[in-house]
Structure 1
Amino acid sequence: MIAAPIIALALAGIAAASPTPAATTCADGTIVANSQCCFWANVRDRFKNEIFLNVCQENVHSLVRIAFHDAIGFSLNSEKGGGADGSMIQFGATELNFHANEGIDFIVDFLQPFADTVGITYGDAIQFGAAVGLSLCPGAPKIQAFVGRPNATRAAPDGTVPEPFDDPEKIFARMADAGFTPTELIHLLASHSIADQAGVDPEDSVLGAPFDSTPFSFDSQVFLETMLVGVLFPGSGPNQGMSSPAVLAVRRVTYYNVLSGEVSSPLPGEFRLQSDKRFTVHNQTACAWQENALSQATMASNFQTAFQKLSLLGFNKANLLDCSEVITTPPPATQKQAFFPPGKRHVDIEQGCATKAFPTTLSTAAGTPTPIPAVQVQDIPFGRRKK
């Protein structure tokens, strides 16, 4: 009759003997569960001050881009790269020569010396840096930060990064090989809300042409604007390599440039990837694309989950240190919902989702259409490779 109370007292004694480690307050006031994360609070501040200059601009986009390109060199089914391990820096002499990685060399040129100076591995520099960068972007979700990745031991092979001129089925197969569904791919492409082109079109006049009209906000505008009918090219496109026209909707035709992966865009100065446009009408992705276009909160949540999965490719989360407390909460979205740019309206939508019509309730911004300016390279202490 007294066994149960005795056992209960014994268990209570064990619990009392093994208390939860006390939280640590870092020098900047950040409260962390593990004191080692105070080091990463300092790395966070250095990223913000020295790499991003405390704004959501070109270098944030570049960190998010290399985070994808580095991690996706991974396979569930064959021997490829090690995932989010920094191989794109560690083995840059190999991977930066791949066609799909055109334009990434400039972020490597200052991210590598930054990581060496701070004393962190390249895999952590890429993934932690992307989480810090996104925290500066209005509307972005807060990304958990896991650190402790060892240095890469091998380069990822060529062909692991999808190209914008690839057929959707080829892209889906590559992503599935890395463990992602077509819907998860669309969720990852929310990163294009802060993206601009480098390496797709070789013309200097098109360098930095953004993918939507709000390139410094992590918003659903890119999903809406990619659904608009294309009417022009931002430069002198479509350049060489024109393929046969492909009908995307009953009443519209979009022309593809096979070599550059570029298709016509709806706004002057805006750049559109062929792959993005195809996803808006493909039966496996059109409805997920439209869902992101219609809900800022849904888009951000979807990206948060997919990007977290990407950042852990090749690693067991249990073997890494969770320093998510040091990542600050991003500013709120500047718009709660996407809007039609000046001069555009519902009739300009190329409907892709077969099960749900695009609503007629979105507003159109006032004013007249004006060219969207290119995103400029940021001048930071670590500089850019001289060519």
Structure 2
Amino acid sequence: MSFKTVFALVSLAVLSFAMPTKRAVCSNGRTASNAACCTWFDVLDDIQENIFDGGECGEDVHESLRLTFHDAIGFSQSNPAVGGGADGSIIAFSDIETNFHANLGTDDIVEVQRPFAIKHNVSFGDFIQFAGAVGVSNCAGGPRLQFLAGRPNNTFPAQDLTVPEPTDSVTAILSRMGDAGFNPEEIVDLLASHSVAAQDHVDPTIHGSPFDSTPSAFDPQIFVEVLLTGTLFPGNGSNPGEVLSPLPGELRLQSDALLARDPRTACEWQSFVNNHDLMVTRFEAAMAKLAILGHNARDLIDCSEVIPVPNSATSNTASLPAGFSMGEVEASCDTAPFPTIPSIAGPETSVARVPPS
């Protein structure tokens, strides 16, 4: 082959590589790298307006993010009969799965989401993960989660006892999550979701009692507040899965308190106290893993470009709530000192209940 021929072939290859890929034209003048992603722009518009109240970080966001986990964690690396992972079975078999004790309270968001998935003719598994990703992007400082589309509709319900409960020991949680493919650090990474979470069923007398004092911001505040010495119960006293909280109106889960103090998980927990960006990065990675349990990513289509870009965080560091000192932090990491963090001035912090949507 002559030099001139080789040069021509190389030039053609470079030209082909440099040519822009034609993007699919979607609704409202938007474009996507794959035409299969266009439908998700329409889903985005619909759920932002009609589920998330115009793009707020409210209760339906909390519940949608919770549902991504409760649907996907029905999975086992060793026993396929446990469940199909992120397959939408919690919607398809809601009469079974929402009655599992760990899934109590998911029935409301399941019934909210079901008609939207049917309307847009997308699988339940895809819709659950998409709604969770869109919802958390509405929270200040939130992650921009990967979204892969193309999960087929499932064929069987997940088994009971696949979702860890607040009453479980750390060893039991590590075992169950390990069976699904998560190491101890990744379990803590996923718990960043509790920064925008609330509860209704650990103590049913206090609807929407959040787990930290900033329930509409995806920030590291929960990682310091869970380590503060507990002194009170916000509702009707001690309930299974609840331990003493430091703040009026804030409910502390037993499992959060134990994971924050266990030597297997305490250092990962502490690492987020003064590093919002690290918390978000590791949450994004753990959620990317969760969202494809039971699937091969190579069989799915990357439509992450449809997920909105969240507003920036207001702070990279958690603060000591007003009225608290460093002496009330029960630091539990043996390999690193607890970071120095600012204190909020003013009267003692209390937490407002999250109103029902």
Contact 1:142 1:330 in 2 (8 A): yes
Aligned residue for 1:385?
Answer: none
1:342 and 2:343 are equivalent in the alignment: no
1:354 and 2:356 are equivalent in the alignment: no
1:194 and 2:196 are equivalent in the alignment: yes
Task: Give the aligned residue type for 1:108.
Answer: V
- In the alignment, structure 1 segments of 5+ residues that lack a partner are 240-259, 379-387
TM-score (norm. length: structure 2):
0.95
Contact 2:266 2:333 in 1 (8 A): yes
- Within 5 A, what are the aligned runs for 1:38-49? 38-49=38-49
Cα separation, 2, equivalents of 1:4 and 1:70: 59
SS across alignment from 2:35: coil
Aligned residue for 1:367?
Answer: 346
Cα separation, 1, equivalents of 2:13 and 2:323: 69
Aligned residue for 1:163?
Answer: 165
Q: Pick closer, same or farther for the CA change 1:339–1:85 going to 2, 3 Å.
A: same
- Within 5 A, what are the aligned runs for 1:93-132? 93-132=95-134
- Within 5 A, what are the aligned runs for 1:19-38? 21-38=21-38
- Within 5 A, what are the aligned runs for 1:1-387? 2-3=1-2, 5-7=4-6, 9-10=8-9, 21-53=21-53, 54-79=55-80, 80-203=82-205, 206-239=206-239, 260-359=240-339, 361-378=340-357
Contact 2:229 2:245 in 1 (8 A): yes
Deviations 1:249-298 (A, max 9, x none): xxxxxxxxxxx200010000001000000011101100000001221111
Task: Give the aligned residue type for 1:55.
Answer: E
Cα separation, 2, equivalents of 1:14 and 1:332: 41
- In the alignment, structure 2 segments of 5+ residues that lack a partner are none
Cα separation, 2, equivalents of 1:175 and 1:3: 60
**Aligned Cα RMSD in Å?**
1.7
Cα separation, 2, equivalents of 1:98 and 1:164: 14
Higher helix fraction (1 or 2): 2
Q: Pick closer, same or farther for the CA change 1:232–1:318 going to 2, 3 Å.
A: same
Cα separation, 2, equivalents of 1:274 and 1:216: 22
Q: Pick closer, same or farther for the CA change 1:169–1:5 going to 2, 3 Å.
A: farther
Contact 1:30 1:326 in 2 (8 A): no
Contact 1:31 1:325 in 2 (8 A): no
Residue 179 (structure 1) shift: 0.5
SS across alignment from 2:262: coil
Residue 3 (structure 1) shift: 4.8
Task: Give the aligned residue type for 2:241.
Answer: G
Q: Pick closer, same or farther for the CA change 1:120–1:365 going to 2, 3 Å.
A: same
Cα separation, 2, equivalents of 1:224 and 1:103: 27
Task: Give the aligned residue type for 1:306.
Answer: A
Q: Pick closer, same or farther for the CA change 1:371–1:17 going to 2, 3 Å.
A: closer
Cα separation, 2, equivalents of 1:365 and 1:35: 49
Cα separation, 2, equivalents of 1:29 and 1:311: 29
Deviations 1:176-220 (A, max 9, x none): 1010001000000000000011211232xx121000000000000
TM-score (norm. length: structure 1):
0.88
Cα separation, 1, equivalents of 2:73 and 2:234: 29
Cα separation, 2, equivalents of 1:316 and 1:12: 36
Structure 1 stretches of 4+ with a deviation exceeding 2 A read 2-21, 24-31
Q: How many matched pairs?
A: 354
Percent identity among equivalent residues?
45
